[in-house]
Amino acid sequence: MDPIIKGENLEIVYNLGKSNEYRALRSVSAEIFPEEYIILFGPSGCGKSTLLYCFLGTLPNTYGKLLVKGEDPYTYDAEQLVQFQQRTMGIIYQAFYLIPSLSVLDNVALPLIFAGVSKLDREKRAFGLLKRFGVEKQAYKLPASLSGGQQQRIAVSRALVNDPEILLADEPVGNLDSISTKHVMDMLDDINKKEKKTIILVTHDAKYLPYAHRVFYMKDGGLEREVPNPEKPQIKAVEPGKTIVTEIETLARMYPYSSVDELRVKSIINFLTQSLNFDQLERLEKTVEMVMMGNIDELNFQKILNMRVDEGGIGLRLPEARKMTEKLHNILEQSFDVKRYRKGVTSEGLRPEFDVFIRRLRTDLLDQFEGQVVPIQLTRLEKAISDRVSGLIKKEDFQTYIGASISNGGAGFPARTARNFTLYLEKLIAQGTRI
Ligand code: ADP
Ligand code: MG
């Protein structure tokens, strides 16, 4: 399969040669395949929009090589560029950019004028799209009289009116309330699934990540990582030899942000923290797996822990076996929450229960904290949990944020508590992705 977009060492410099010269893209290489849903994700200012407009062919001072459907838009003159954009890409923006003096129908039909389509056909096609997205009643109104959600649906119709294969979206729900957000996100999902259009969506909000096949994590103008969404069947085949065989690779899936060294340390710690020998560990792993697969219940788990080694058990004393069973019970219970949270958006769009999961995780963490907390600490703790569970921030960022003082924008917990919360949450995240 050939990529529909292929960028090699893309660099973009704003204000070239001036005192405020700025390199907004640094040697970005990426391949996007037909029918993929890609999210460009990262903090504000990291270059997401720049990369998106780079794909569109509109940015001056672009270096490197870009091919979109085999064409290099940067070799085109102005007129060729417009034609190229019309046949390959539609785009929607956070601020909609509808033309205020034109009716909704004319806004949607406008790109077809440039494509030389007759008036009757233009209106037919535009009306069909408005109908499909449930805004046909608004066809003869002016954009300003509509809600934000309706305006964005109209902007999506306009982007699709030329039937391009690629749809670009720059923070398309950034200005919308939660109900319109869900509507628009589900529309885009549908366009990807049914019409098989390639979607490239820019967002800084982690809760949309589950919609993507792959997430491109950006930082300081660079593409840091490309992470396949484990919950979605992949369009880009996993390369041979890249299937998961080692423990490090398994861990790497769970902790997409960690370096190889960090993963090695993790796997050694996993090993060292157990006072069990190799055989016992192996058996323990199998037994835990059986519980997670639902093949044995917790009572039987405890029995196997307590059984003598020469009888096939793990050889723990009863109090130890009880304690471990209880721990397993708690971790499984809570890690289901993490998994539900991550899955939530995939099939049914955004769900209000997200907040409930986050609140439960927050309660689980706070139950281990002896001191008193104030409301702002609750809010910040929940925000940090939500960001970490959805992969927006790294483990270290989570710990720093939890431990930073309230006046410095943190959640204001003691360093030791921050560390304990972090370790505990990481355990849940690891379990959540694995079950
Ligand atoms: P993001 O979409 O991730 O928030 P952008 O791609 O918009 O980031 O911007 C990346 C960086 O480039 C930012 O530091 C921004 O200030 C700078 N930048 C963006 N557009 C321009 C421009 N037209 N002129 C100069 N600097 C720009
Ligand atoms: Mg942007």
pLDDT at 393: 78
| Residue 147: burial class (beta carbons within 10 Å; 0-12, 13-18, 19+) | middle
CATH topology for 5-88+164-254 is Rossmann fold (3.40.50)
Query: 95-109, 146-160, 321-335, 376-390: lowest mean pLDDT where?
Result: 321-335
* Residue pLDDT, tens place only, 199-227: 999 998 877 877 888 889 888 999 988 87
The response to whether residue 159 sits with its C-beta less than 6 Å from ligand 1 reads no
**Residue list, CB under 5 A from ion ligand 2:** 49
Q: Is the pLDDT of residue 49 over 50?
A: yes
pLDDT top residue among 288 and 416: 416
List all residues 6 or more positions away from 379 whose beta carbon is below 8 Å from its beta carbon.
none
List all residues 6 or more positions away from 418 whose beta carbon is below 8 Å from its beta carbon.
399, 400, 402, 403, 411
Q: Which residue has the tokens 């505990």?
A: 424
The response to whether residue 15 sits with its C-beta less than 6 Å from ligand 1 reads yes
Q: Which residue has the tokens 């096609």?
A: 125
- Token readout for 410 is 């943190």
pLDDT at 242: 42
Q: Is the pLDDT of residue 246 over 60?
A: no
Band the pLDDT of 24: cuts 50, 70, 90: very high
Band the pLDDT of 345: cuts 50, 70, 90: very low
pLDDT at 137: 97
Looking at the DSSP assignment, which residues form a beta bridge with residue 8?
65
Band the pLDDT of 244: cuts 50, 70, 90: very low
Please tell me the distance between residue 203's alpha carbon and the centre of ligand 1 in angstroms. 14
Please tell me the distance between residue 169's alpha carbon and the centre of ligand 2 in angstroms. 10
pLDDT at 110: 92
* Residue pLDDT, tens place only, 355-371: 777 888 888 889 888 88
Residue type, 80: Q
| pLDDT, the chain, mean | 84
Task: Report which of 328, 324, 339 is spatially closest to residue 254, judged by C-alpha positions.
Answer: 339
CA–CA distance, 332 with 427 (Å, rounded to integer): 10
Mean pLDDT of 91-114: 93
Q: Which residue has the tokens 């190889």?
A: 260
pLDDT at 239: 60
> What number does the ligand 1 atom closest to the CA of 44 have?
4
- Percent of the chain at pLDDT exceeding 90: 48
Query: 97-101, 204-208, 270-274, 308-312: lowest mean pLDDT where?
Result: 270-274
Band the pLDDT of 250: cuts 50, 70, 90: low
Pocket perturbation via mutation, ligand 1, pick of 12, 19, 23, 46 by most ligand atoms within 8 A of CB: 46
Q: Is the pLDDT of residue 31 over 80?
A: yes
H or E segment at 94?
A: none
pLDDT top residue among 249 and 14: 14
The response to whether residue 140 sits with its C-beta less than 6 Å from ligand 1 reads no
Nearest bound ligand to CA 172? 2
Please tell me the distance between residue 310's alpha carbon and the centre of ligand 1 in angstroms. 65
Q: Is the pLDDT of residue 124 over 90?
A: yes
Q: Is the pLDDT of residue 7 over 50?
A: yes
Question: Which protein residue's CA is at the shortest distance from atom 14 of ligand 1?
Answer: 45
E strand segments, 37-161: 37-41, 62-68, 89-93
Q: Is the pLDDT of residue 175 over 70?
A: yes
The response to whether residue 259 sits with its C-beta less than 6 Å from ligand 1 reads no
Q: Domain limits of the chain?
A: 5-88+164-254, 278-329, 342-432
